[in-house]
Structure 1
Amino acid sequence: MKAPCVTGGLGVPVGLPPVKVGGGPTVHLGAVSAPRIPSLKEGIAMALELSSLFGPRRDDTVGTMARGLQGSEILRIAAEIRELVAQGRQVCNLTVGDFDPSQFPIPSALGEGIAAGLTAGETNYPPSDGVLPLRQAVLRFYERALGLRYPLESVLITAGARPIIYGLFRTVLDAGDTVVYPVPSWNNNHYAHMMGVRKVEVRTDAEHGFMPTVEQLAPHLSEARLLCLCSPLNPTGTMISPEALRDIGQRVVEENRRREALGTKPLLLLFDQIYWTLTFGQARHVTPLELVPELAPYTVFVDGISKAFAATGVRVGWALGPPSIISRMKDVLGHVGAWAPKAEQGAVARFLEDVPAMSGFLESMRKRLDERLVALHQGFTAMREAGLPVRSIAPQGAIYLSVQFELVGRAGLRTNNDIRKLLLDKAGFALVPFQAFGLMEDTGWFRLSVGAVSLEDIRAALPRVESVLRAVGP
Structure 2
Amino acid sequence: MAAGLVGSEILAIAADIRERLSRGEEICNLTVGDFSPAQFGIPAALRDGIASALAQGHTNYPPSSGIPELRAAVARLFERRLGLTYPVGSVLIASGARPLIYGTYRAVVDRGDRVVYPVPSWNNNHYTDMLGADGVPVSCGPDTRFLPTREDLARVLPGARLLCINSPLNPTGTAIEADALRGICEEIVAENHARRKSGQRPLYLMYDQVYWMLRVPGVEHVTPPGLVPEMADYTIFVDGISKAFAATGLRVGWTVGPADVIERMGVILGHVGAWAPRPEQHATSALLDDDAAMDAYVAELMQGLGARLERLYQGFSTLAKEGLLVEAIPPMGAIYLTVRVHPFGRRTPSGTVLSTNEDVRRYLLDAARVAVVPFQAFGVVGDEGWFRLSVGAVGLAELDGALERLGQALRVLD
Which has the greater radius of gyration? 1
State the shift of 1:440 in Å: 1.6
Whole-angstrom CA distance in 1 between matches of 2:195 and 2:185: 15
Whole-angstrom CA distance in 1 between matches of 2:343 and 2:397: 26
Is residue 445 from structure 1 mapped to residue 386 from structure 2 by the alignment? yes
> Which amino acid is the alignment partner of residue 358 of structure 1?
M
Is residue 305 from structure 1 mapped to residue 241 from structure 2 by the alignment? yes
Residue 317 of structure 1 corresponds to: 253
Whole-angstrom CA distance in 2 between matches of 1:133 and 1:86: 43
Whole-angstrom CA distance in 2 between matches of 1:87 and 1:324: 52
Alignment partner of 2:288 out of 328, 345, 352? 352
Write the deviation string for residues 414-471 of structure 1: whole angstroms up to 9, x where unpaired.
1101000110001110000000000021110000000110111101111110111111
State the shift of 1:79 in Å: 1.9
Is residue 265 from structure 1 mapped to residue 206 from structure 2 by the alignment? no
Residue 366 of structure 2 corresponds to: 425
Is residue 234 from structure 1 mapped to residue 175 from structure 2 by the alignment? no
Write the deviation string for residues 113-136 of structure 1: whole angstroms up to 9, x where unpaired.
111111111111111211111111
Residue 116 of structure 1 corresponds to: 52
State the shift of 1:84 in Å: 2.0
Residue 409 of structure 1 corresponds to: 345
> Which amino acid is the alignment partner of residue 364 of structure 1?
E
Alignment partner of 2:329 out of 390, 393, 400? 393
List gaps (5 residues or longer) in structure 1: 1-64
Whole-angstrom CA distance in 2 between matches of 1:98 and 1:196: 29
* SS, match of residue 220 in structure 1: coil
State the shift of 1:257 in Å: 0.4
Whole-angstrom CA distance in 1 between matches of 2:18 and 2:94: 31
State the shift of 1:192 in Å: 0.5
Residue 434 of structure 1 corresponds to: 375
Whole-angstrom CA distance in 1 between matches of 2:157 and 2:222: 22
Whole-angstrom CA distance in 1 between matches of 2:96 and 2:11: 19
Q: TM-score scaled to structure 1, two decimals?
A: 0.85
Query: Residues 408 and 442 of structure 1 are in contact (CA less than 8 Å); yes or no, is this contact kept in structure 2?
Result: no
Alignment partner of 2:145 out of 178, 191, 209? 209
Whole-angstrom CA distance in 2 between matches of 1:472 and 1:250: 49
Residue 113 of structure 2 corresponds to: 177
* SS, match of residue 225 in structure 1: strand
Residue 13 of structure 1 corresponds to: none
> Which amino acid is the alignment partner of residue 184 of structure 1?
P
Whole-angstrom CA distance in 2 between matches of 1:409 and 1:303: 42
Residue 361 of structure 1 corresponds to: 297
Residue 67 of structure 1 corresponds to: 3
Alignment partner of 1:282 out of 218, 221, 229? 218
Is residue 458 from structure 1 mapped to residue 399 from structure 2 by the alignment? yes
Whole-angstrom CA distance in 1 between matches of 2:179 and 2:36: 36
Whole-angstrom CA distance in 2 between matches of 1:382 and 1:401: 15
> Which amino acid is the alignment partner of residue 435 of structure 1?
Q
Whole-angstrom CA distance in 2 between matches of 1:198 and 1:376: 38
> Which amino acid is the alignment partner of residue 215 of structure 2?
T
* SS, match of residue 360 in structure 1: helix
Whole-angstrom CA distance in 1 between matches of 2:14 and 2:285: 34
* SS, match of residue 467 in structure 1: helix
Whole-angstrom CA distance in 1 between matches of 2:111 and 2:18: 39
Is residue 92 from structure 1 mapped to residue 28 from structure 2 by the alignment? yes
List gaps (5 residues or longer) in structure 2: 348-352
Query: Residues 126 and 341 of structure 1 are in contact (CA less than 8 Å); yes or no, is this contact kept in structure 2?
Result: yes
* SS, match of residue 84 in structure 2: coil
Residues 127-136 or 310-319, more deviating: 127-136
Write the deviation string for residues 2-26 of structure 1: whole angstroms up to 9, x where unpaired.
xxxxxxxxxxxxxxxxxxxxxxxxx
Whole-angstrom CA distance in 2 between matches of 1:282 and 1:385: 26
Aligned residues, how many?
A: 409
* SS, match of residue 395 in structure 1: coil
State the shift of 1:88 in Å: 2.1
State the shift of 1:244 in Å: 0.6
Q: Percent same amino acid at aligned positions?
A: 56
Is residue 101 from structure 1 mapped to residue 42 from structure 2 by the alignment? no
Whole-angstrom CA distance in 1 between matches of 2:290 and 2:218: 26
Whole-angstrom CA distance in 2 between matches of 1:208 and 1:385: 23
Query: Residues 426 and 468 of structure 1 are in contact (CA less than 8 Å); yes or no, is this contact kept in structure 2?
Result: yes
* SS, match of residue 3 in structure 2: helix
Whole-angstrom CA distance in 2 between matches of 1:163 and 1:296: 21
State the shift of 1:109 in Å: 1.4
Whole-angstrom CA distance in 1 between matches of 2:252 and 2:243: 11
* SS, match of residue 296 in structure 2: helix
Alignment partner of 2:182 out of 246, 250, 253? 246
Instruction: Report the RMSD for the aligned CA atoms in angstroms.
Output: 0.8
Write the deviation string for residues 234-255 of structure 1: whole angstroms up to 9, x where unpaired.
0000011111100000000000
State the shift of 1:87 in Å: 2.5
Write the deviation string for residues 313-333 of structure 1: whole angstroms up to 9, x where unpaired.
001000000001001111110
Whole-angstrom CA distance in 1 between matches of 2:123 and 2:212: 18
Whole-angstrom CA distance in 2 between matches of 1:113 and 1:364: 20
> Which amino acid is the alignment partner of residue 377 of structure 2?
A
> Which amino acid is the alignment partner of residue 67 of structure 2?
V
Whole-angstrom CA distance in 2 between matches of 1:78 and 1:326: 34
Write the deviation string for residues 330-377 of structure 1: whole angstroms up to 9, x where unpaired.
111000001111111000001111111111000001110000000000
Whole-angstrom CA distance in 2 between matches of 1:169 and 1:82: 32
